[in-house]
Amino acid sequence: MAALIIARLSLKEAVRRRIMLAAFVLGVAFLILYGVGFYFMAGEVRFSSEGPTRELFQKGFFNFLTLSGLYAVNFLAIAMGALLSADTLAGEIGSGTIQAIVTKPVRRGEIVLGKWIGYAILLALYLILMAGGVLAVSFALSGYVLPNVLAGIGLIYLETLLVMSVTLALSSTIPTLATGGVIFGLYGVAFIGGWVEQFGSFMQNQTAINVGIVSSLIIPSEALWRRAAYEMTPQIAQVLGVSFSGPFLTLSVPSELMVGYAALYLVAALALAVRQFGRRDL
């Protein structure tokens, strides 16, 4: 019950600081811009493609446009999760406001879990708004529906929770600015490692592929996105072993074992956050 109370207070704090309002306004602006771009590009495809392969080409292009929109949503959700949790413990410790909570009859672990639950709910609402908006725009302007969309969106949500949990663990240990620097550095490592792995797959270079795999083991955020994009790729492309990872082509698809590793990574990060906050001198 204490954790749920902390979760409710975290949501109220997000409303008070107008985080949810800013996210909603900017999200609507993004969807409007995306819809305008989709409309004109979809129109060009309808009039330019001809012949027996017209329908196949159109579906492939609509899949590309929709995944490109979700790629942007994926990054925005990750950034929001990191920004929310980077200051939640470190900032309150630095300002001394955490003292008003820890003096109450509540365990420190319940404080961390409550904040995690609150931000997880907030991220779920944000992802529903943004991903649902992208899918609605795609369907309204083209009639196209992504395959396995629930599995894909679920993996994106898992990625946002993963980054948020790692950020929370860092926030329980080091100051806010250091937390932000480390988490975006880790995300950069995963992103660049993913690129190296794709080039390695294209050139059949096992060393480059191994570099990408190691970067995914350091933090499997990019691997989760590539798996999500693969799940939402038409079956004919899956048979060929490729997918459109947003605006990019993915040749090396993470396995289901990597998804399981990411889930364990999330649990370990949350457990570390609870442990570190419990031991920290306030």
CB atoms within 10 A of CB 94: 12
Which run of H or of E encompasses 244?
A: strand 243-245
Token pair 């806010």 in the structure block, residue: 176
> Sorting pLDDT into bands at 50, 70 and 90, what band is 102?
low
Domain ranges of the chain: 2-279
DSSP β-ladder status, 248-250 and 243-245? antiparallel
> Sorting pLDDT into bands at 50, 70 and 90, what band is 51?
low
232: nearest Cα among 142, 124, 144, 160? 144
Token pair 């995944």 in the structure block, residue: 67
CB atoms within 10 A of CB 47: 7
Q: Is the pLDDT of residue 148 over 70?
A: yes
Q: What is the mean pLDDT of residues 45-52?
A: 59
* Mean pLDDT across the chain: 86
Ordered alpha helix ranges (H), the chain: 2-16, 19-48, 54-86, 90-95, 99-102, 108-142, 149-171, 176-203, 206-218, 221-231, 235-240, 256-279
pLDDT score of 21:
81
